[in-house]
Amino acid sequence: MQLNIARQRRSLVVAAALAGAVAALHLPSTALGQAYPSKDIRMLVPLSAGSSVDTLARGFSEDFAKALGQPVVVENRSGAAGNLGANEVAKGATDGYTLLMATTGVMAINNSLYKNMTYDAARDLEPVLFVASITNVLIVPPDFPAKNVAELIAMAKKEPGKLAFASSGAGASTHMSAELFKAMTGTDILHVPYKGSGQAMPDLMSGRVQMMFENAPGAVSHIKAGKLRALAQTGLKRSPAMPDVPTVDESGVKGYESLSWSGIAVAAGTPTLSASASAAAANAGSTGGAAVAAASHGSQPLSSRSL
């Protein structure tokens, strides 16, 4: 799937702008009562169980639930690059009991990538809280011949179209990072989309596909276990969780940077959380389980961001 590079960059700019909007709790005109919550809260994750976004959601929900005294139930609604789960929240109740662990894809990229969207992120979803900025990692099977980015580029150029990269779905950051890499290096690498990173991992480990720009939280454990090997990471600075892994920019593809982010969103028109619930959400995102999960797996939690 060939993407126009100008369109890709424009999508990333939109994503960055929306990330800024997600930095603070939203402030609609009316507020939920102080009794909120009085029942279980659902948090929909638009990607598969075990994905980096799922990991962040479960860390956040655990601490949010403890602070509120009510369960926060995580439900996975994967499919259509996250659009299925996002649409369910966008078209759902505005009572504050259904949250979305939003991603760059469902809030920005997908609207530019798909013709027949069932929701409009800018109109139908309201950002609540920024949770983490996520670095992707270029990973390959342990026995893959290329030992660095330069050797990988040389392999791809020697036999155009022979190498294949996996993604967690068309339009996901794992797809966009690879397309940006292809455009900036002039390489022809086949895209093989999966229904989630979890489904892609067995084929990547076995060598059926040769590479993947996986979200760091979903890759670090496999790298440490020796099941996969990291060639580079996609931020301009090395993640503290992977200090020995160079960036793509350092590896010779100057100016390359591709990050994604996750945050909490609700259906547009949802009233403001009470002061206590707002404080609980901010704390869960900045110092709770989500922050721990983010920092330990190569992402940048809210608490370390300048907002």
3-state helix, strand and coil shares in percent for the chain, rounded to the nearest 5:
40, 20, 40
The answer, as to whether pTM is greater than 0.85, is: no
pLDDT, residue 95, reads 92
Which residues of the chain, if any, have pLDDT below 70?
A: 1-34, 273-307
The answer to whether residue 289 is domain-embedded is: yes
Q: Taking the alpha carbons of 247, 251, 252, 253 in that order, is the dihedral positive or negative?
A: negative
The answer to whether residue 206 is domain-embedded is: yes
| 63: containing domain | 5-134+261-304
Q: Tell whether 180 and 42 lie within a shared domain.
A: no
Number of domains in the chain: 2
Return the CATH number at 21: 3.40.190.150
The answer to whether residue 252 is domain-embedded is: no
Q: Which two tokens stand for residue 34?
A: 């102080």
The answer to whether residue 241 is domain-embedded is: no
Q: Tell whether 128 and 145 lie within a shared domain.
A: no
pLDDT, residue 286, reads 52
Q: Tell whether 140 and 69 lie within a shared domain.
A: no
Q: What DSSP designation does 51 have?
A: S
Q: Tell whether 178 and 191 lie within a shared domain.
A: yes
The answer to whether residue 195 is domain-embedded is: yes
pLDDT, residue 120, reads 96
The answer to whether residue 246 is domain-embedded is: no
pLDDT tens sequence across 185-204: 999 999 999 988 889 999 99
Q: Tell whether 224 and 160 lie within a shared domain.
A: yes
Return the CATH number at 219: 3.40.190.10
Q: Tell whether 123 and 186 lie within a shared domain.
A: no
Average pLDDT, the chain: 83
Q: What DSSP designation does 93 have?
A: -
